[in-house]
């Protein structure tokens, strides 16, 4: 993928994440902080599909943005063909793993496995 | 650290009548013999108009002729005498001692360049990256037909790129760039500014090929917009702005 395409995704995910995290914080403000983190309350959030979809989207946006940022930092730190390949594929794998793990939590809750 | 304060006898020397003196600290390093650089100190007379380059040449003439320094035009045109002067990348021929407001002037080789000896550095990386971005007009027509004259441009079209055409390839921008210090594959502000110079030229047809070259994992996107390149340019070129304008092409804001 061209670097300009990657950077467009990088900037886009940052802007979208700011908007969605703002909505997420506003939703949390409807309850008290301690109440918001209660077990039943968290499960209820995951079972409310529109909100769970938004959390999933935030997870994807932040994982893509964060791991690309890490890739850029690591590429500037050291150079070399094999090192750069390892960094790029390593960050991609870590990004997929994090999204998969986060999605698993939401899916398991909705399937009644929690 | 060695200090030399006396002036060697020389029949043909120019008169050194000034009562003002500064302590000139010159970084000495020969990669073939030395493990690290060390400073040699010289007490040098100066006038209001004396440049740092003249002071260094004074040292070469009267104290130590082995000081290695690259220079040529002495008028900020050739871009040869770039060095760190009191910690900032500057042209030695374009920096007057009196404007430094210091009794001590420290000169070192430019950062982010391999040292040949003392103040002289290798320019290979700068010239390679400059060459890489195709610093010439690219046209579809290989030859002019008989009824054509020169390629005319309006003042507005010239205005788009003319400040970037003032680059003298002195390397001060690359020396000041923080990304150049860590990323050995980074294209650098000099080459990126020159890429913009040709991309913005209405006579040029090589925009796409140049944008492809700089759209790389060590290309234009690694600029952090520190702006130090623009701050140190002795010719008033603004590479940081050129880089942002180039990003506009890649992000689709400019065509």
Its ipTM equals 0.84
- Domain identity same for B65 and B102: yes
DSSP B7: -
Would the CB atoms of A4 and B182 count as touching at under 8 Å?
A: no
- Domain identity same for B115 and B147: no
- Domain identity same for B33 and B12: yes
Would the CB atoms of A3 and B215 count as touching at under 8 Å?
A: yes
Q: Of B121, B145, B166, which residue constitutes the final position of a domain?
A: B121
Q: Is the pLDDT of residue B9 over 60?
A: no
Taking a C-beta distance cutoff of 8 angstroms, is the pair B92, B81 a contact? Answer: yes
**pLDDT number for residue A31:** 80
Token look-up 């055409």 returns B165
- Domain identity same for B166 and B83: no
Give the separation between CA B150 and CA B174, rounded to whole angstroms. Answer: 34
- Domain identity same for B136 and B243: yes
Measure A2 CA to nearest chain B CA, in Å: 7
Interface test with B, best of A72, A74, A76 (most B CBs within 10 A): A76
**pLDDT number for residue B12:** 47
Identity of the residue in A8, A76, A84 whose CB atom sits nearest the CB atom of B179: A76
Measure A83 CA to nearest chain B CA, in Å: 13
- Domain identity same for B107 and B139: no
- pLDDT tier at B44 (50, 70, 90 boundaries)? very high
Q: Nearest chain A Cα to B246, which residue?
A: A4
How buried is residue B68: exposed, middle or buried, by Cβ count under 10 Å (0-12/13-18/19+)? Answer: middle
- Domain identity same for B112 and B155: no
- pLDDT tier at B165 (50, 70, 90 boundaries)? very high
Residues on chain A touching B184 (C-beta within 8 angstroms): 79
Q: Of B87, B121, B155, which residue constitutes the final position of a domain?
A: B121
**pLDDT number for residue B57:** 97
- pLDDT tier at B18 (50, 70, 90 boundaries)? low
Number of folded domains in chain B? Answer: 2
Mark residue A113 as left, alpha or beta (left: phi above 0; alpha: psi -120 to 50; beta: remaining): alpha
pTM of the model: 0.87
Give the separation between CA B55 and CA B58, rounded to whole angstroms. Answer: 5
Q: Of B63, B94, B121, which residue constitutes the final position of a domain?
A: B121
Within 13 A of A98's CA, how many CA atoms are on the CB side?
17
- Fold held by A3-110: 3 helical TM bundles of succinate and fumarate reductases (1.20.1300)
Residues sharing a CB contact under 8 Å with residue A5, sequence separation 6 or more, in sequence order: none
Identity of the residue in B182, B215, B251 whose CB atom sits nearest the CB atom of A76: B182
Taking a C-beta distance cutoff of 8 angstroms, is the pair B137, B49 a contact? Answer: no
**pLDDT tens digits for range B96-126:** 999 999 999 999 999 999 999 999 999 999 9
Interface test with B, best of A1, A2, A3, A71 (most B CBs within 10 A): A3
- Domain identity same for B117 and B129: no
Distance of CA A24 to the CA centre of its chain: 13
Residues on chain A touching B215 (C-beta within 8 angstroms): 2-4
Interface of A with B (CB under 8 A): 2-4, 7-8, 11, 72, 75-77, 79, 84
- Domain identity same for B206 and B247: yes
Identity of the residue in A2, A8, A76 whose CB atom sits nearest the CB atom of B222: A76
- pLDDT tier at B138 (50, 70, 90 boundaries)? very high
Domain of residue B209 covers 124-251
Give the separation between CA B83 and CA B55, rounded to whole angstroms. Answer: 14
**pLDDT tens digits for range A76-109:** 999 999 999 999 999 999 999 999 999 999 999 9
DSSP B76: S
- Domain identity same for B115 and B129: no
Token look-up 């690259």 returns B70
Interface test with A, best of B184, B209, B210, B217 (most A CBs within 10 A): B217
């Amino acid at each position: 993928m061209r670097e300009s395409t990657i950077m467009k995704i990088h900037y886009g995910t940052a802007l979208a994440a700011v908007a969605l995290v703002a909505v997420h914080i506003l939703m949390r403000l409807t309850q008290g902080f301690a109440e918001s983190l209660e077990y039943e309350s968290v499960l209820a959030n995951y079972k409310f599909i529109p909100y769970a979809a938004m959390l999933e989207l935030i997870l994807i946006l932040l994982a893509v943005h964060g791991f690309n940022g890490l890739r850029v930092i690591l590429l500037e730190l050291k150079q070399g063909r094999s090192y750069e390949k390892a960094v790029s594929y390593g960050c991609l794998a870590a990004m997929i793993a994090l999204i998969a793990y986060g999605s698993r939590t939401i899916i398991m809750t909705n399937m009644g496995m929690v | 650290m060695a200090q030399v304060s006396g002036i060697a006898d020389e029949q043909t020397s120019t008169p050194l009548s000034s009562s003002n003196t500064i302590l000139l600290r010159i970084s000495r390093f020969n990669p073939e013999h030395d493990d690290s650089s060390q400073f040699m100190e010289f007490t040098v007379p100066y006038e209001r108009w004396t440049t740092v380059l003249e002071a260094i040449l004074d040292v070469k003439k009267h104290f130590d002729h082995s000081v290695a320094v690259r220079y040529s035009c002495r008028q900020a045109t050739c871009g040869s005498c770039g060095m760190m002067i009191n910690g900032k990348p500057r042209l030695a021929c374009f920096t007057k001692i009196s404007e430094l407001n210091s009794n001590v002037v420290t000169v070192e080789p430019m950062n982010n360049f391999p040292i040949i000896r003392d103040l002289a550095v290798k320019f290979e990386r700068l010239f390679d990256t400059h060459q890489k971005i195709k610093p010439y007009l690219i046209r579809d027509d290989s030859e002019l037909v008989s009824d054509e004259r020169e390629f005319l441009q309006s003042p507005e079209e010239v205005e788009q790129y003319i400040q970037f055409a003032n680059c003298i390839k002195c390397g001060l921008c690359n020396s000041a760039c923080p990304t150049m210090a860590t990323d050995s594959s980074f294209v650098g502000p000099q080459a990126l500014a020159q890429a913009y110079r040709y991309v913005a030229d209405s006579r040029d047809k090589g925009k796409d090929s140049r944008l492809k070259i700089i759209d790389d994992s060590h290309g234009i996107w690694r600029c952090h917009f520190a702006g130090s390149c623009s701050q140190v340019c002795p010719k008033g070129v603004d590479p940081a702005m050129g880089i942002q304008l180039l990003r506009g092409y890649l992000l689709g804001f400019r065509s």
